[in-house]
């Protein structure tokens, strides 16, 4: 749902909150009325009863104002969280479905939109809706009070905008350095073991400090300019009373106004015109709100609704049609990949480091979309499969493992609902991945929580749990990126046995490897070289060709301990 739609849905609430603001603004004049009544009635009549009555009346009015103010704040906060909730899920999905890593910034954009639509800007705008009436009252008191109010408002608005413009430009120049410094600090903190072991700390600290210093210098320079203007604004606010009472005194001395006119004008100004002043001071947030709103709309509009019409049961016949993928730098990562394999095939993907194997596997798993060409499953382009049908039928092991923060149960079951009875599937998946002992060791159990990318498990253990996640639910298509890279000989033997079992059940399996040992199970082999499909043929044909050409691509089976 776009931001505009959310705002349209809640506009009725704004009307109710505005009404509260109007009553609040009227009630906020209580001190003014009290002062006028004391001067006119109590001083003249010297009546204790009138004084008592006025005090009680004003106390009730002030109490009513306090209650209205409280309810309005609560209503605005509730509205803010409603807007937040309406946007959050769509944004979360859009961030995960989209390709741009910068989209993560959308989470802070939601906070900016919430604050912009329900924060001080809106509060002061609502409070200021009666300001024209108060300015008229000032004109009625005396034309000079009215003119002063308008001049004061204009000067303050101009100064505030000026100061904020400086701040904005300084912040945006410092932001890149700040973000880089922050990301660098987070990345080094997460790798502190390596830093400690090799004493890389002095070097990384220097790098981080240079980024941080550059951000601080830019901020300091801007701070000096902006704070001069802020000080002038502060002086003007401080002098407001002096100026109004001074004008009142001049008018009194010229017999043009009563003795209290300056005080009265000051109170009207504070309670009635004050919100307009604070609106003027908050106007700068509009540009932030508009920018965040625009970014969210682009993100949400880019998000295509996933297909929902179910396709026939997946068999696993895979076709790559002229598949190409350009990297974020616009350069070719993979180009012209075309082949077709029947359901139930096991396909090895080999090639030198950086050739494009992982990229091909990402496209086959639907983890990334090709720049051109298509991956078809059973003749249907992969993106035509509804996610709810495709997801359970695909088991993907990325090279980076990518275990998620959560329990082993959640990781293996792919965050299935907690009450689901999945004992049999989990047990099977863990057995196939040779991961049962990992769960049983050290009293861990399935509820054991994993930290960032599977910490504190060892590399081989993480790979096995991630394999169990890939095997979970007997997927029709398995895409395994170097599934044996961190496995010992027994792990590799278990993996081979599991792949053989899954093939017997009809699963299609793609895997990449640098080791010969795993390739004996293949029906076909794809060779990727420098981003292009060098060859695609049956296992025996490719292995014979590699043998003739002198194998430099694969680590011989004896080196891994696997039997050929």
Ligand X SMILES: Nc1ncnc2c1ncn2[C@@H]1O[C@H](COP(=O)(O)OP(=O)(O)OP(=O)(O)O)[C@@H](O)[C@H]1O
Residues that bind ligand X (CB under 6 A): 327-329, 333, 351, 353-359, 399
Q: How far apart are CA 209 and CA 181, in angstroms?
A: 8
Whether residue 428 contacts residue 411, with contact meaning beta carbons closer than 8 Å, is answered with no
Name which of 327 and 386 has its Cβ closer to ligand X.
Answer: 327
Please report how close the Cβ of residue 362 comes to ligand X at its closest, in angstroms. Answer: 8
- The H or E element containing residue 474 is none
What Rg do the C-alpha atoms of the chain give, in angstroms?
A: 35
Name which of 358 and 562 has its Cβ closer to ligand X.
Answer: 358
Please report how close the Cβ of residue 97 comes to ligand X at its closest, in angstroms. Answer: 16
Please report how close the Cβ of residue 358 comes to ligand X at its closest, in angstroms. Answer: 3
Residue showing the smallest CB distance to ligand X in the complex: 327
Name which of 355 and 467 has its Cβ closer to ligand X.
Answer: 355
Q: How far apart are CA 281 and CA 237, in angstroms?
A: 12
| Nearest CA-CA partner of 356 in 533, 203, 493, 495 | 533
Please report how close the Cβ of residue 453 comes to ligand X at its closest, in angstroms. Answer: 17
Name which of 313 and 329 has its Cβ closer to ligand X.
Answer: 329
Burial class for 151, CB neighbours closer than 10 Å (0-12, 13-18, 19+): exposed
Name which of 289 and 333 has its Cβ closer to ligand X.
Answer: 333
Please report how close the Cβ of residue 99 comes to ligand X at its closest, in angstroms. Answer: 9
Name which of 276 and 323 has its Cβ closer to ligand X.
Answer: 323
Please report how close the Cβ of residue 200 comes to ligand X at its closest, in angstroms. Answer: 23
Q: How far apart are CA 522 and CA 502, in angstroms?
A: 13
Q: How far apart are CA 280 and CA 156, in angstroms?
A: 7
Which strands sit side by side in the sheet containing 477-481, from one edge to the other?
Answer: 380-381, 372-377, 318-326, 332-341, 532-538, 524-529, 346-350, 508-512, 477-481, 394-397
Please report how close the Cβ of residue 552 comes to ligand X at its closest, in angstroms. Answer: 14
Helices (H) and strands (E) in the chain, counts: 23, 12
Q: Facing residues of 526 across strands?
A: 349, 536
Q: How far apart are CA 544 and CA 93, in angstroms?
A: 47
Name which of 327 and 379 has its Cβ closer to ligand X.
Answer: 327
């Amino acid at each position: 749902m776009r931001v505009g739609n959310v705002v349209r849905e809640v506009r009725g609430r704004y009307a109710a909150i505005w009404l509260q603001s109007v009553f609040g603004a009227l009630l906020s004049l209580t001190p003014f009325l009290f002062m006028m009544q004391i001067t006119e009635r109590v001083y003249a009549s010297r009546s204790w009863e009138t004084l008592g009555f006025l005090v009680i009346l004003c106390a009730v009015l002030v109490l009513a104002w306090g209650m209205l103010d409280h309810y309005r704040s609560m209503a605005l906060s509730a509205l803010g969280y409603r807007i937040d909730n309406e946007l959050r899920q769509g944004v979360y999905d859009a961030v995960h479905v989209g390709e741009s890593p910068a989209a993560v910034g959308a989470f802070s954009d939601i906070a900016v939109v919430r604050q912009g639509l329900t924060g001080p800007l809106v509060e002061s705008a609502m409070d200021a809706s009666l300001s024209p009436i108060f300015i008229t009252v000032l004109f009625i008191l005396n034309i000079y009070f009215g003119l002063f109010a308008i001049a004061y408002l204009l000067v303050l608005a101009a100064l505030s905008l000026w100061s904020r413009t400086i701040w904005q430009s300084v912040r945006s120049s410092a932001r890149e350095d700040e973000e880089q410094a922050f990301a660098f600090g987070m990345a080094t903190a997460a790798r502190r073991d390596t830093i400690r072991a090799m004493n890389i700390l002095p070097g990384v600290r220097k790098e981080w400090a240079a980024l941080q210093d550059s951000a601080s210098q830019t901020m300091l320079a801007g701070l000096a300019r902006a704070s001069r203007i802020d000080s002038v604004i502060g002086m003007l606010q401080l002098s407001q009373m002096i100026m109004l009472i001074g004008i009142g005194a001049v008018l009194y001395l010229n017999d043009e106004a009563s003795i209290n006119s300056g005080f009265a004008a000051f109170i009207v100004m504070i309670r009635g015109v004050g919100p307009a002043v604070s609106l003027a001071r908050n106007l700068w947030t509009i540009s932030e709100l508009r920018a965040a709103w625009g970014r969210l709309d682009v993100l949400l509009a880019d998000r295509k609704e996933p297909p929902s019409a179910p396709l026939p049961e997946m068999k696993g016949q895979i076709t790559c049609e002229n598949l190409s993928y350009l990297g974020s730098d616009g350069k070719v990562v993979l180009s012209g990949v075309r082949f077709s394999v029947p359901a139930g095939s096991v396909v090895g993907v080999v090639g030198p480091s950086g050739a494009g194997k992982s990229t091909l596997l990402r496209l086959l798993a639907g983890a990334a979309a090709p720049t051109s060409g298509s991956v078809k499953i059973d003749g249907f382009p992969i993106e035509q499969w509804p996610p709810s049908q495709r997801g359970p039928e695909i088991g993907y092991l990325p090279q980076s493992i990518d275990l998620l923060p959560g329990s082993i149960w959640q990781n293996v079951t792919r965050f299935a609902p907690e009450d689901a009875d999945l004992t049999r599937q989990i047990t099977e998946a863990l057995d196939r991945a040779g991961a049962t002992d990992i769960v049983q060791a050290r009293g861990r159990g399935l509820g054991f929580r994993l930290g960032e990318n599977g910490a504190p498990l060892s590399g081989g253990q993480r790979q096995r749990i991630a394999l169990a996640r890939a095997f979970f639910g007997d997927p029709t298509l398995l895409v395994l990126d170097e599934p044996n890279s961190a496995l010992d000989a027994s792990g590799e033997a278990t993996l081979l046995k599991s792949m053989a079992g899954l093939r017997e059940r009809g699963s299609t399996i793609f895997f990449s490897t640098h080791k010969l040992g795993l390739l004996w199970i293949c029906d076909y082999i794809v060779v990727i070289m420098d981003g292009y499909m060098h060859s695609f043929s049956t296992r025996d044909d490719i292995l014979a060709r590699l043998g003739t050409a002198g194998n430099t691509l694969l680590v011989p089976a004896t080196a891994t301990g696997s039997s050929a």
